[in-house]
Amino acid sequence: MANLVITIDGPAASGKSTVARLLAERLGASFLDTGAMYRAVTLAAIEAGVDMGDEEKLLGVLETSEFQFAVKEGKMAVSIDGVDVTERIRGPEVTAKARHIASAAKLREKLVRMQRRFAAGEEKIVTEGRDQGTVAFSDADVKFYLTADAGERARRRRAELRTKGGGEPRPSDGLGESLEQIQKAIEERDKSDEDRAVGPLRPADDAIIIDTTDLGIEEVVEKVLRRVKEKCLKRNQK
């Protein structure tokens, strides 16, 4: 088990990936974006033409494909059977269909096991997702839950899409969507993440909750870093 485990959970576009990545950089820790795992299995299932409601078939996809996750240039690089899919797992179809993988209990169990195995090989780790503090690492050293109001998260997502697309609207990447449509999609994803029976999105009882609506990324990272230092200091004094 790693010496230091920090979990960051929260809804879509709450800033958790960026914060987790920057925090890991500052702490010299490794970083795990668990959403990339759910996305990778979703893409593999779409490509295999599997019925998204058939849990056994979805499990078969996870068992028969080879998934590789590695951090490259601060981003989670993903490949399936040797093919780099880092960009493709961010597409709108994968985003919309990931809920099928996320609500399949046996798949979640397997993915959580993979996450723990990954962490076990690291000295320090910052891991982000929906259930990292509640299920995957319920005994983590420090847990955070980042949130922000849905309108602000939609604006952030639109800015991110624009940066990625170089400002050129392409309907296939969600850039053709209005701010209202982006917000609606985010709220639907929140609801599906909160309502599922397994690993639902919710703060752990001992999580530090940070509302990032009026904060810049750097301010959030500073806040988080301060809390980590306080907690670790207390832990070392015990």
Q: Which two tokens stand for residue 143?
A: 């847990």
Is the Cβ of residue 172 or residue 235 nearer to ligand C5P in the bound state? 172
**DSSP of 47-100:** HHT--TT-HHHHHHHHHHS-EEEEEETTEEEEEETTEE-TTGGGSHHHHHHHHH
Residue (15 or 199) nearer to ligand C5P, CB:
199
CB of 90 to ligand C5P, least distance (A): 8
End-to-end CA separation in angstroms for the chain: 20
For ligand C5P, the closer of residues 2 and 17 by Cβ is 17
The contact mask relative to ligand C5P for 26-45 (x = CB under 6 A, - = no) is --------xx--xx------
Site string for ligand C5P, 71-100 (x = CB under 6 A): ---------------------------xx-
The H-assigned helical ranges of 121-178 are 150-164
Q: Which two tokens stand for residue 142?
A: 């420090």
* C-beta of 34 vs 147, nearer to ligand C5P: 34
Encoded tokens for 235: 């832990």
Residue closer to ligand C5P by CB (options 4, 153) is 153
189 binds ligand C5P (CB under 6 A): yes
Segment interacting with ligand C5P (CB under 6 A) among 72-80, 128-136, 163-171, 225-233: 128-136
CB of 56 to ligand C5P, least distance (A): 19
From the list 110, 122, 113, the residue with the least C-alpha distance to 71 is 122
Q: Residue 73 contacts by C-beta under 8 Å, 6 or more apart in sequence?
A: none
User: One-letter amino acid identity for 14?
Assistant: S
In whole angstroms, the minimum distance from the beta carbon of 199 to ligand C5P comes to: 6
H or E segment at 173? none
Contact string 193-222 vs ligand C5P (x = CB under 6 A): x-----x-----------------------
Please, are residues 12 and 185 in contact by the beta-carbon 8 Å criterion? no
Parallel, antiparallel or unpaired: strands 124-129 and 4-9: parallel
Cβ atoms 154, 182 nearer than 8 A: yes
Q: What is the binding site for ligand C5P (CB under 6 A)?
A: 12, 34-35, 38-39, 98-99, 102, 129-132, 189, 193, 199
